[in-house]
Structure formats: structure tokens, C-alpha cells
């Protein structure tokens, strides 16, 4: 189920990213949406067993989970650039890896 949650959050991230960086920079609600969706992905990944993570080492688990921790606990240090890069560049790669895991 958690993989499905990740995939769904990823689809929602893609729909926000499709609006463009400028739209995200100008709309705080879109920023909040991306932040929350990235948190959901990180939280879901953090609940995966060590065995699961070890067997799928192509995913940078600590990086994704670390982003979730930053978003949840250091909200005052969040920059739009960081959120945009995670959403627009890192999330598609993560979703590709998750898709391969789901297929296996």
C-alpha cells in the first residue's frame, strides 16, 4: 500500500510541477502542496522495512527520508528552490524506481 501512496503523491507532484516553476514561486499554496506531498513520500518510505530498502538499493532512501524530516521539522529553513528541485528533478527518478519495484 505504501508504494501506491508514493505513486499517488508523485502523480500529484507532477500535476503541480506541470504548472511551471514561476507559478509555484508565486503561489504559496502550491508550495505548501509540494511540501506536503514530498513529506508523504518521505514518511511512506521511512515505514519500509530495512530488508525492503536493502533489496532496492537504487533508491537514495536516506536522501528522501531526510527531505521529509527537513520539511516536517525545519520548516523555517525551507527554500522554494530546494522544494522545486526535489519535486521537478528528484521525484520523477524516484517514481521510475518505484515503478520498477512494483513491476517486480
Active-site pick, 22, 73, 76, 77: 73
Q: Which residue has the cell 521511512?
A: 46
Q: Is 68 a catalytic residue?
A: yes
99-102 long-range contacts (CB < 8 A, ≥24 apart) are 99/7, 100/58, 101/3, 101/56, 102/3, 102/7
Active-site pick, 21, 36, 68, 76: 68
Q: What positions carry a catalytic annotation?
A: 68, 73
Amino acid at each position: 500500500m505504501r508504494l501506491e501512496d508514493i505513486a499517488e503523491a508523485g502523480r500529484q507532484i507532477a500535476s503541480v510541477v506541470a504548472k511551471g516553476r514561476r507559478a509555484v514561486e508565486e503561489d504559496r499554496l502550491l508550495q505548501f502542496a509540494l511540501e506536503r506531498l514530498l513529506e508523504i513520500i518521505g514518511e511512506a518510505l521511512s515505514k519500509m522495512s530495512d530488508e525492503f530498502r536493502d533489496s532496492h538499493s537504487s533508491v537514495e532512501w536516506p536522501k528522501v527520508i531526510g527531505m521529509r524530516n527537513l520539511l516536517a521539522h525545519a520548516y523555517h529553513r525551507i527554500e522554494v528552490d530546494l522544494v522545486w528541485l526535489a519535486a521537478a528533478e528528484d521525484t520523477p527518478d524516484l517514481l521510475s524506481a518505484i515503478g520498477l519495484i512494483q513491476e517486480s
